[in-house]
């Protein structure tokens, strides 16, 4: 009898004790089924300075992007005569990027240089997860460039297909902390129109880029693309340089402004990867800016009224 009593008391003590922590332990049990979420926004924008970032447009979002590269700040073409390059527009670009799905973006753009039209697709293949199951983002990028200008001489564009160039890149990024994201971009460019006869038609490139947040809305961005020293011949009559850009990116919710400095005259990969002829060390740095405005198209009509936003 005593034994039973003892058992009963100890059991009720046990249940009391269990009850004191019950709410938290029950919550933990409910929580345990949760799956790891993705790490979003490694980069704020779909571009860094010159290069693409691993980000894609959100579904049904259209991004209008206007970019401008001025002339040399220093050197023979710079200084006060050209107001440090501000008199010159080496390249202008207007483009539209549209998110078909959250992971797949199509884009069209047009540059002043070569009257180049570009058409591209960008697909986010892998997404970084909050747990260790996926440490990186991986985005595949393919771009077609079409030179629309008149040929400079009779032999240029002997065949119509010589006007086209193709660029393929895989963009591997990781958000290391809320402040720091880095990426590596191996790429391959196929082209027919070569400025220097000794130059290789097809070029390997290896890009590096990063974003460092200074405040929540202001980031320092930089990218560098290695072209020389990979598959490119060394004995060229022209000297080509590796494109390197740094910038400040300001985000105001829907708009992104970035103020850039770079040695490349050109804006689109198919141009700046093979043809950058200016150097940081010889006053060939120029100022440039990007204005990007995001529009949301096709909002679903069946949408939950509890998540409807409205702009008056």
Partner 1 sequence: MNRIRKITRVLIALLLLHLSAGAQNFVSKNIRIGLFSSTPLEDIRAVSDKGNAVLVSKTREIVVQLDVKTLEFDRKLMQEHFNENYIESDKYPNAKFKGVIDQPIDFTKDGNYGVTVTGTLSVHGIDKKRTIPGKVIISNGVVQISTEFNVACVDHNIKIPKLVFAKIAEFITIKAEGKFNPLK
Q: Which is nearer to partner 1, 44 or 191 (CB)?
A: 44
CB 71 within 8 A of CB 264: no
Q: Is 81 a residue that touches partner 1 (CB under 8 A)?
A: no
* Residues with Cβ within 8 Å of residue 86, at least 6 apart in sequence: 70, 71, 287
Stretch of 112-120, 150-158, 227-235, 302-310 contacting partner 1, by CB under 8 A: 302-310
* Core vs surface per residue 108-120: b (16+ CB within 10 A) or e: ebbbbbbebbbeb
- CA dist., res. 87 & res. 64, Å (int): 25
CA distances from 54 to 38, 126, 300 (A): 14, 10, 27
CB of 222 to partner 1, least distance (A): 20
Beta-bridge partner residues of 158: none
CB of 178 to partner 1, least distance (A): 6
- CA dist., res. 137 & res. 126, Å (int): 5
Q: Is 300 a residue that touches partner 1 (CB under 8 A)?
A: yes
Q: Is 231 a residue that touches partner 1 (CB under 8 A)?
A: no
Q: Is 132 a residue that touches partner 1 (CB under 8 A)?
A: no
CB of 107 to partner 1, least distance (A): 17
> Number of residues in contact with partner 1, rule: CB under 8 A?
47
- What does the DSSP 8-state code read for residue 221? E
Q: Which is nearer to partner 1, 162 or 251 (CB)?
A: 251
Which of residues 94, 102, 226, 228 is near partner 1 by CB under 8 A?
102
Half-sphere exposure of 302 (CA within 13 A, CB side): 0
CB 149 within 8 A of CB 168: no
Stretch of 118-126, 224-232, 238-246, 297-305 contacting partner 1, by CB under 8 A: 297-305
Q: Is 4 a residue that touches partner 1 (CB under 8 A)?
A: yes
Q: Is 174 a residue that touches partner 1 (CB under 8 A)?
A: no
Whose structure tokens read 């290069």?
51
Binding residues vs partner 1 (CB under 8 A): 1, 4-5, 8-9, 11-12, 15-16, 19, 22-24, 26-27, 30-31, 34, 37, 39-41, 58-59, 61, 102, 130, 178, 216-217, 252-254, 294, 296, 299-300, 303-312
């Amino acid at each position: 009898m005593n034994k039973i009593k003892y058992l009963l008391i100890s059991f009720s003590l046990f249940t009391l004790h269990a009850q004191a922590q019950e709410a938290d332990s029950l919550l933990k049990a409910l929580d345990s089924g949760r799956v790891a979420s993705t790490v979003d926004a490694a980069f704020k924008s779909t571009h860094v300075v010159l290069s693409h970032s691993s980000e894609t447009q959100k579904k049904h979002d259209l991004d209008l992007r206007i970019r401008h590269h001025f002339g040399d700040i220093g050197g023979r073409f710079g200084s006060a005569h050209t107001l440090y390059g501000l008199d010159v527009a080496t390249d202008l670009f207007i483009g539209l990027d549209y998110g078909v799905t959250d992971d797949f973006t199509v884009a069209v753009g047009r540059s002043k240089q070569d009257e180049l039209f570009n058409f591209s697709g960008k697909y986010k293949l892998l997404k970084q997860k909050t747990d260790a199951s996926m440490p990186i983002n991986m985005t595949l990028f393919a771009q077609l460039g079409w030179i629309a200008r008149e040929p400079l001489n009779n032999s240029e564009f002997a065949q119509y297909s010589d006007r086209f160039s193709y660029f393929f890149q895989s963009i591997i990024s990781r958000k290391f902390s809320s402040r720091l994201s880095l990426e590596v971009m191996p790429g391959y460019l196929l082209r027919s129109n070569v400025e220097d006869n000794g130059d290789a038609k097809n070029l390997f490139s290896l890009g590096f880029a990063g974003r460092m947040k200074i405040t929540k809305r202001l980031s320092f961005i930089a990218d560098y693309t290695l072209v020389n020293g990979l598959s490119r011949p060394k004995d060229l009559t022209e000297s080509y340089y590796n494109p390197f850009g740094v910038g400040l990116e300001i985000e105001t919710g829907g708009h992104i402004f970035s103020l850039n400095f770079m040695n490349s005259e050109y804006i689109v990969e198919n141009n700046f990867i093979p043809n950058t002829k200016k150097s940081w060390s010889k006053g060939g740095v120029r100022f440039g800016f990007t204005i990007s405005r995001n529009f949301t198209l096709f909002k679903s009509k069946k949408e939950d009224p509890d998540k409807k936003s409205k702009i008056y």
